[in-house]
Amino acid sequence: MKNKKILDLIAPDTKVYLWIIGVLLVILSFYEPIIAFLGVILLGYLIFYYWRNVHIKKEEWTKYIESLTEELDSATKHAIFNMPIPLTIVEIDGTINWYNTQFLDMVEDKDILNKNLELIIPGFKIDYIHEKKDLSPIEISFRDRYYKVYYNIVNLKKTTTAKDAIIMLYWIDNTAFSILRHKYIDEKMCLGIIQVDNYDEVRNNTDEGNRPLVFAEIDKRINEFMIRINGCVRKYENDKYIIILENRYLESSELKKFDILDQIREINMGNKIPVTLSIGVGVNGENPFQTYEYARAAIDIALGRGGDQAVVKRPSRFNFYGGKTQAVEKRNKVKARVISHALRQLIDQSEKVFVMGHKIADMDSFGASIGILRVAKNRNKKAYMVLRGINPSIKNLYDRMREEQPEYLDQIITPEEANNIADKSSILIVVDNHRPSYTEDPDLLNIIEKAVLIDHHRRGEEFIKDPVLMYLEPYASSTCELVTEILYYMSDKLELTRFEADSLLAGISVDTKNFTFQTGVRTFEAASFLKRAGADTTSVRKLFKDDFDTYVCKAEVIRDAVIIHGKIAISRFPKETEDSLLIAAQAANDLLNINGIVASFVLTLSSGKVHISGRSTGEISVQLILEKLGGGGHLTSAGAQLENTTIDDAEILLKKNLDEYLREGEDE
């Protein structure tokens, strides 16, 4: 068929002319039969000549094509056999069928025929080819050389199956480029900032004679650390250092979990409190300035998470190291007063005030929101609390609000209502949360340009973008404590109602577990201020009362708990009820009352998601464990939500993270 098409192209189509002559001879036979007869004879000769000519040309063309094919096959075989790069042909399972001399020289083994390629070249998996959806090369190292392996699958039959195919592998030596690339990556400059977290506290709590020794020892250990990693360090303030190091040494420091943190903490030269460092490192910025900005962002996050840790910022991710100790309180009243005055000015400049906490509000979030409403009322501003719904954690407080101060009910609006009335002249105050996705209404952050953040959680990777004012204090017990301090400095004429004072004290109580965890001097000062304002501890305690069914459910959760590693309790409440989150949180708290238990986790279901409540006595950081599951919180209290999973799978993930955390602790 192909030959016919070619002949049609190269030979004139004389058939048309022969048909025309035939038709003319038929017409002529009616008028001149003799002449027509002679014409038929001539036509027959022409047809014979045409057929003979076409046949000869067809044979010649066929011979030409055959000879050309043979020449091409010969050239192809010659090229393959003499290809200057290693080449091998394997079956679909990796069995070697053929190889050229260059491949033999590459593997330095003469007996490889009919052996599996995976045995000859460790690290190469034939499944790579089957799994890949494109023809991009496979990078592999072999005997101190680096290769890019190109491949193509050749089907041997038209009706092919897996057995009817072979794989041709082309091994391109990429060693020079790979070495250059690795050298570039290893020698890339990284910029970091080191800050002594508690410089003033250490100085003030160390005898005057020992102070020079303590700070000299800090300088010495930091310098020794940088010498070990061939880095450069310069001190530019009493408590701040800037460091420059190569990427290869940064990676080795990451493998060691920045052991300089432990070395600094071990300093004992007359200092009454341990010294801690925060380290922020920027990597892979497009230019030195961007790398410096990465370092600034990293150190801010390290400090925002409570210090005593290192944060490495790369373009697409953060890495966290340390943070396993309780942060030392170092807040001062000057900062609280400055924040209070700045917030007052921002509220005065705004027409409407919106306050918003986190999803599934708790006492701390709800109480802090009530405190902000009180501030706005004091400044004669329209204020609204964005709340999606009432949950069991705040139901008692909400019911009391409805009885004692029902005017607040008109100020509580849904996210949809907030989106309709908010504008650019408004201000949004986010309390007890710094993650946009975890707020009651993430869209509101895009509508309102001015956002204020008040939170006490350790800072995570996700963060509200460019707040105009930020009061993030991981050293505080609760957001209600921070809001109470703001209220204290807001105005001399600001007077709290008994309900408002109780709401703020309830928030402090729930996050400190009745003043037993994360409780500092400032916590008691805030509680004292609220007590003077009319707060009643008996009334606050009533807010935490549960019904009989809730107590029974908590008892079942505690009964079903399993102790792992001899000190960690894990249980679950597999029923999805209105009170499931409250039961899980309270059960996790109660499990810590068992002798020998230093951490507890309770899993439950709510809104189709698996929720994990984690609690600790401080020996184990539940925040670091649950952060790996997308959660967050504090050293002693944290939570996480998992979507598209079962409670069984969530427990497996939790145990895996626990094992990793404990192994890291042993390695350190």
Structure token pair of residue 433: 């949360």
Longest dimension (CA), the chain: 143
Q: How far apart are CA 614 and CA 622, in angstroms?
A: 6
* Amino acid at residue number 585: A
Q: Is 73 annotated as a binding residue?
A: no
Q: How far apart are CA 74 and CA 325, in angstroms?
A: 74
Q: Is 457 annotated as a binding residue?
A: no
Which residues partner with 637 through β-bridges?
615
Residue with tokens 């037993």: 516
Q: Is 432 annotated as a binding residue?
A: yes
412-413: strand order across its sheet: 412-413, 382-386, 352-356, 427-431, 450-455, 469-472
Q: Is 511 annotated as a binding residue?
A: yes
Cβ burial of 148 (10 Å; 0-12, 13-18, 19+) is: middle
Cβ burial of 280 (10 Å; 0-12, 13-18, 19+) is: buried
What DSSP string runs through 407-444?
A: GGGGGEE-HHHHHHH--TT-EEEEES---GGGBS-TTH
Count CA atoms within 13 Å of residue 81 on its CB side. Answer: 6
Which residues partner with 383 through β-bridges?
353
Q: Give the residue among 419, 365, 412 at the shortest CA–CA distance from 385.
A: 412
Q: Is 579 annotated as a binding residue?
A: no
SS3 133: coil
Q: How far apart are CA 475 and CA 583, in angstroms?
A: 27
Q: How far apart are CA 582 and CA 544, in angstroms?
A: 11
CA angle 498, 501, 505 (to 5 degrees): 135
Q: Give the residue among 191, 193, 367, 207 at the shortest CA–CA distance from 278.
A: 193
Q: Is 182 annotated as a binding residue?
A: no
SS3 514: coil
CB atoms near residue 576 (< 10 Å) = 13
Structure token pair of residue 609: 């998601």
Q: Give the residue among 472, 470, 484 at the shortest CA–CA distance from 524.
A: 484
SS3 566: coil
Count of positions (residues) in the chain: 668
Per-residue CA distances from 92 to 117, 128, 484 (Å):
11, 12, 71
In sequence order, the 6+-apart residues with CB closer than 8 A to the CB of 105 are 86
* Amino acid at residue number 294: Y
Q: Are 573 and 587 in contact (CB under 8 A)?
A: yes
User: At 489, phi and psi to the nearest 5?
Assistant: -100, 0
What DSSP string runs through 448-479?
A: -SEEEEEE-SPP-SS--SS-SEEEE-TTSS-H
Mark the binding-site residues for Mn(2+), compressed into ranges. Answer: 358, 362, 364, 432, 456, 511
Mark the binding-site residues, compressed into ranges. Answer: 358, 362, 364, 432, 456, 511
